[in-house]
Each structure stands twice: as structure tokens, then as C-alpha cells.
Amino acid sequence: MIEVIKDKKVWKEQIALVSNSDFYHTYDYHQLSKSNDEYPILIKYADGQTSLLIPLLLRDIDNSDYKDATSVYGYAGPLVQHIDENFNVDDFQDEFNQFLQKNNIVSVFSRLHPYIEHQESILKGLGTITALGNVVNIDLTDTIENQRAKFSRRLKTYLNKSRRSCTVIKGNIDEHLDDFIRLYHENMRRVDADDSYFFTNKYYHQILSSEDYESELSLCVHAESEEIIGAAMFMKKGDIVQYHLSGLSEEHFELNPIKLVIDEMRIKSTEEGYKYFNLGGGLGSNEDSLFRFKSSFSKDFKEFKIWKYIVNENVYKELVSQKLGNDHAPDILEADYFPAYRAVKKVTEV
């Protein structure tokens, strides 16, 4: 049986029943992440003792009676409660397909969660699942000393230097949010980030105020000047700590404030009993300088995958054809963009 949940209270109750749910599955994060043309839904499938929960953002397709679905930015995908060998995946997929077709949903895209089991086995046969790269995990079930022993030699040197010059404190919204925003935006401008990485002040305030998960704002303070030179947001839910957003002062690169903030959160989260500390991956899931920075903390990598599903191939092709017009040249769409009918045409100068 398929049920669509939109109410915050019911969404929160259902997510709470699943032990491995994460910050990215919560109602509040979906509300914060959605665009103006998107509305969050939590699809629930129940069969005996087994429940599946699939959070999605539903969107109308312009100039049509159709919709498609996507996921929030981050790591989402299905959650499973009480699955065993008696669960019939074919029954679920049949009913899920009927739901999608009945609601004129042409395609579904979701980023999957590297730490959650059963996602691939549940979705296998519905479209394609593609591995994009790795994310870096710090195993918080290991001792604090053993975790540090796996750091690169250079990272240990950087951290020793940082601790001699800086301290890490827990921030609060009223006193420190403006400092975080300043450092984060400075960081995004420095790396020439896309506009989508810049958020409103309301976003930062609300993401730290939600009661759906625990959030923490950590600040690195320069001991001599008492200036805040680095800051990061961490989100905690279930067994997982997520390194979400961060920024640092360009003038204090050499003090490596973000490395110190991450290390202090590692120690604290281990003491609090969390199991996983996800540092994420590189930009676009590439093994770039950002990935190398994160992997200096740990070589425990987990594979990040995405799911693409064309529900109605005929309508999908028709929508793509309408988007392309009579020009079906493959280079006019962004490579690998899904769904293709939402891609932006490349403009070629003559």
C-alpha cells in the first residue's frame, strides 16, 4: 500500500521509526531545500512489518500535465524498516510504478545515501544506478587515538600548529551566525562557486534552528587576535554526523582553521557515541584538492551513487523532442543531464 505524506508531524513520526534516517531525510531540510516550484512528499510503502520511505521533491513540468521528482541536495534515497527475506521487492516496484504513472510522474532522480543499506536492492531494475565517486568517512566507533593514527603525517603537523595558535568554540545563532555567513560567502566567492551555493540569511538561521535534528556551529578563534577565522556547520541525526558547510578567512590559510574544527568535532562526536562522520567528497564527486583535503583524515571511503528512472519513456522522449526542437545534435545539451528536458540549451555563436 502506497501513502503520500505531506504533513510535518506525520513525516517526523515516520522518520523517527527508522534507526538509520539522516538529517537529509527530514521534513525541515526538504522545506529549506525546495525551490519555489517544488513541493516535498514522503512516499510510504507498507507490507506487513516492512515499511519503505522515499522522500522526494515533486515538480510540475511546464506546458504539460506531467510532473517529475528529484531529491534534495546531499544524501537521501529510500529508508527501510524491518526488511527481511520475506519482503517481495517485485510487489513494491509494481505498486510504486502504478503510483508514479497514476500521478503523471515522468521521471525520478535521487542522490542515494552511502551509509544506508538496501537502497540499491530495492531500486534495482527501476532505471539506472550510477556510482559517481567516493565520500570520506571517519569511523567513530574506533578509539580517538586510532582515528588520529590514520591521519596523514602532514595533517598531524598542521593540527599541532593550529592548536598552538587557535581554539575551537561552540557558536550560537545570535552571536555568531553573521561571522559564519561572512566566512562562508568569502569562501564561495574565492572558489567561484555557482549561485546555488549562496543561501539567504533566513536559510542559515532556519537550518540551525530546526528540531528535526541536532545542529552545531563550530568556530575557530585565533588566540592572539581573538578573531573568528574559520567556521563550520555540522548536522547530527541517528548515528551520523554530517560536515555540511564551512568557511575560512583567506588571511589565515596557514593556520588551517577548518582542519582543526573538523578534528575537534571528530573527538566530540566520538565521545557522544556517534558511529559515522561523513566529510563528503570532492566537487562534482571528483578526486580533486577538496577530496584530498578530506581524505587526509581517513582512507575509509564509501561509494556515492545516484538513481535515474524514466517512468514513461514515450512522454519523456516527447518532452525532450519539444525541448530540442528539430535539432537533435547531442552537443546542445549538457552532458549526462537528467532529466534531459530540463537541461539548458548551449548557445553557439556564429
Question: pLDDT tens for residues 30-78?
Answer: 999 999 999 999 999 999 889 999 999 999 999 999 999 999 999 999 9
Q: What is the mean pLDDT of residues 271-289?
A: 89
Q: Which of 116, 43, 48 is nearest to 76 (CA)?
A: 116
Q: What is the pLDDT of residue 345?
A: 62
Question: The C-alpha cell of 229 is what?
Answer: 577565522
Q: What is the pLDDT of residue 286?
A: 74
**For residue 166, pLDDT beyond 60:** yes
Question: The C-alpha cell of 259 is what?
Answer: 582542519
User: What are the structural domain ranges in the chain?
Assistant: 2-126, 136-303
What integer best gives the mean pLDDT of the chain? 93
The C-alpha atoms of residue 217 and residue 37 are separated, in whole angstroms, by 30
What percent of the chain clears pLDDT 70, i.e. is strictly above it? 95
Question: pLDDT tens for residues 213-268?
Answer: 999 999 999 999 999 999 999 999 999 999 999 999 999 999 999 999 999 999 99
pLDDT band at 348 (very low <50, low <70, confident <90, very high): very low
**For residue 331, pLDDT beyond 80:** no
Q: What is the pLDDT of residue 287?
A: 76
Number of other residues whose CB lies within 10 A of the CB of residue 243: 23
**For residue 344, pLDDT beyond 80:** no
Q: What is the mean pLDDT of residues 322-348?
A: 64
Question: The C-alpha cell of 26 is what?
Answer: 527530514
**Best CATH choice for the domain 2-126 from the list 1.10.30.50, 3.40.630.30, 3.20.20.80, 3.40.50.1260:** 3.40.630.30
Does the fold of domain 136-303 match that of domain 2-126? yes
Phi/psi class of residue 4: alpha, beta or left (left: φ > 0; alpha: ψ in -120 to 50)? beta
Query: Is 136-303 assigned to CATH 3.40.1360.10?
Result: no
H-run or E-run covering 233: strand 228-237
